[in-house]
């Protein structure tokens, strides 16, 4: 049981029961009343990678500056326009270094996206540099997620790619200290008691001590935790009597959208509880050829991106780009905006980068890249702008600006030639 002393509660408070540990969201009771709301919330970073580029004529706004209209692909982001920064004319030269085969060009697109250096050279990836600076006081310095297997966009060192987890159940257990190996996962799957059920007494005791506003915050947070558990149980399925637990980890939905949205919800939950402040997610893999049934398009991803310059096929791929932005990215932004955080919400206090290391996938181009930023970065990113940089501006110039917004000291980054003004 936790008792409030002078109406304050530690930001690192955990509710525990055996192997279960539940972090708490930011509550007013965690800081003295006189300074709550005056403190600058911690900024979170997410880097989201979508393979195979985009139809750039349908991605890039025609107008420059603040008085721009969203392009057709980005129309679903209209509710968040004031917190969007679209950056045009960026280039990824490192993705051209090496063999000129189609496969190598694709694979380097994602491998170089957050390093801006040829594979196995140069620097750690952007997210890991940020994690070294702002992630050392959280349970997880960074969280690497993926909807696919076989690739990574996060590098601890130039030669050490970090594994990216695709199973939401494992991610949930990693965040909340529940079983994580194969045997314990199987046992956990067969249990009917949720994490919250095991903490009922502690939750109730804490709730009685909290002021009304904090009780409401806690109730919303606990509802989110239970909803994620419910959805993971649905995707895990049940096994008939006598059937041996399969080797494939349970918890990965068959449906692409459900999988993606569950992972986005886990990022928001991890940020809300300050379990981590740095996240990456690989939404699709270069050369990957999945189908997206909910898009209404029957052609698989990689094949659809090779449109041969035919207008009707380019229009089809633009539709697929539009689907990804609407079904995935817009969903994540809505989740962040609807999650309270201090005197605002998680979108106010985050910087989210979405895009690709490839431009025209049909030609295996690496410029101009489809890249945008979202979020307020705790007042450091103004948004509502289309920034048209000089043709061939290195992507590293933007990543250097991101480091600057996150107060990570750096005079340069990879092959940067300056800093994009955000």
- The topology (CATH level 3) of 43-166+257-422 is Alkaline Phosphatase, subunit A (3.40.720)
* pLDDT recorded at residue 174: 84
* pLDDT recorded at residue 252: 84
What does the DSSP 8-state code read for residue 19? T
272 vs 36, 72, 249, 302, CA distance in Å? Answer: 16, 32, 26, 35
Q: Which contiguous run of DSSP H or E holds residue 322? A: helix 311-324
* pLDDT recorded at residue 290: 94
The mean per-residue pLDDT over the stretch 112-117 comes to 96
Residue 181 pLDDT exceeds 60: no
Lowest mean pLDDT among 56-70, 177-191, 358-372: 177-191
Lowest mean pLDDT among 220-224, 346-350, 396-400: 220-224
| Runs of H (alpha helix) within 150-249 | 168-176, 182-190, 200-209, 212-236
Neighbour tally for 292: CB within 10 Å: 19
Lowest mean pLDDT among 30-34, 218-222, 233-237, 239-243: 239-243
CA 301 to chain centre: 21
The tokens 């390093």 sit on which residue?
Answer: 115
* pLDDT recorded at residue 402: 98
pTM of the model: 0.80
Rounded distance between C-alpha atoms, residue 62 and residue 85, angstroms: 14
Lowest mean pLDDT among 36-45, 69-78, 233-242, 378-387: 233-242
Residue extents of the structural domains in the chain: 1-39+168-251, 43-166+257-422
Rounded distance between C-alpha atoms, residue 422 and residue 407, angstroms: 14
Rounded distance between C-alpha atoms, residue 63 and residue 386, angstroms: 7
Residue 354 pLDDT exceeds 60: yes
* pLDDT recorded at residue 85: 98
* Residue 264 or 120, more confident: 264
* pLDDT recorded at residue 403: 97
* Residue 318 or 149, more confident: 318
What does the DSSP 8-state code read for residue 87? E
The overall longest dimension of the chain from CA atoms, in Å, is 69
**What angle do helix axes 330-337 and 256-272 make, rounded to 10 degrees?**
30
269 vs 24, 171, 278, CA distance in Å? Answer: 10, 11, 12
Mean per-residue pLDDT of the chain: 85
* pLDDT recorded at residue 36: 42
* pLDDT recorded at residue 249: 37
Pairing mode of beta strands 371-374, 350-355: antiparallel
* pLDDT recorded at residue 230: 67
Would you say the C-alpha torsion 153, 154, 155, 161 has a positive or negative sign? negative
Q: Write the Ramachandran bin of 334: left for phi over 0, alpha for psi from -120 to 50, otherwise beta.
A: alpha
């Amino acid at each position: 049981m936790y008792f409030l002393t002078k109406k304050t509660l530690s930001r690192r408070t955990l509710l525990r029961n055996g192997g279960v540990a539940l972090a708490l969201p930011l509550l007013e009771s965690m800081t003295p009343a006189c300074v709550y709301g005056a403190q600058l919330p911690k900024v979170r970073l997410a880097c989201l990678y979508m393979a195979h580029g985009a139809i750039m004529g349908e991605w890039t706004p025609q107008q420059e500056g603040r008085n721009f209209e969203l392009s057709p692909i980005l129309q679903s982001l209209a509710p968040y326009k004031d917190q969007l920064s679209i950056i045009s004319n960026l280039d990824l030269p490192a993705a051209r270094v090496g063999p000129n085969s189609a496969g190598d060009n694709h694979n380097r697109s994602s491998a170089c996206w957050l390093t801006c250096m040829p594979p196995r050279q140069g620097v750690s990836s952007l997210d890991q540099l940020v994690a070294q600076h702002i992630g050392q006081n959280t349970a997880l310095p960074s969280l690497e997620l993926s909807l696919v297997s076989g690739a990574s966009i996060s590098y601890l060192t130039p030669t050490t790619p970090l594994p990216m987890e695709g199973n939401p159940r494992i991610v949930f257990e990693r965040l909340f200290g529940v079983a994580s190996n194969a045997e314990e996962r199987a046992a956990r799957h067969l249990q009917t008691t949720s994490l919250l059920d095991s903490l009922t007494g502690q939750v109730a005791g804490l709730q009685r001590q909290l002021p009304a506003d904090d009780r409401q915050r806690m109730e919303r947070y606990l509802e989110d935790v239970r909803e994620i558990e419910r959805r993971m149980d649905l995707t895990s399925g049940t096994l008939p009597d006598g059937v041996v637990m399969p080797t494939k980890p349970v918890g990965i939905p068959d449906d692409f959208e459900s999988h993606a949205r569950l992972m986005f919800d886990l990022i928001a939950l991890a940020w809300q509880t300050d379990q981590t402040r740095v996240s990456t997610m690989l939404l699709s893999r270069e050369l990957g050829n999945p189908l997206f049934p909910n898009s209404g398009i029957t052609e698989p991803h990689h094949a659809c991106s090779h449109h041969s310059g035919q207008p009707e096929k380019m229009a089809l791929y633009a539709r697929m780009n539009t689907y990804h932005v609407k079904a995935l990215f817009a969903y994540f932004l809505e989740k962040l905006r609807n999650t309270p955080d201090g005197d605002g919400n998680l979108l106010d206090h985050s910087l989210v980068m979405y895009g690709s290391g490839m431009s025209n996938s049909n030609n295996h181009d690496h410029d101009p890249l489809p890249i945008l930023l979202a979020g307020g970065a705790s007042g450091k990113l103004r948004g509502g702008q289309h920034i048209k940089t000089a043709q061939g501006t290195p992507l590293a110039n933007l990543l250097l600006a991101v480091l600057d917004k996150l107060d990570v000291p750096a005079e340069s980054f990879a092959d940067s030639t300056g800093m994009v003004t955000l």
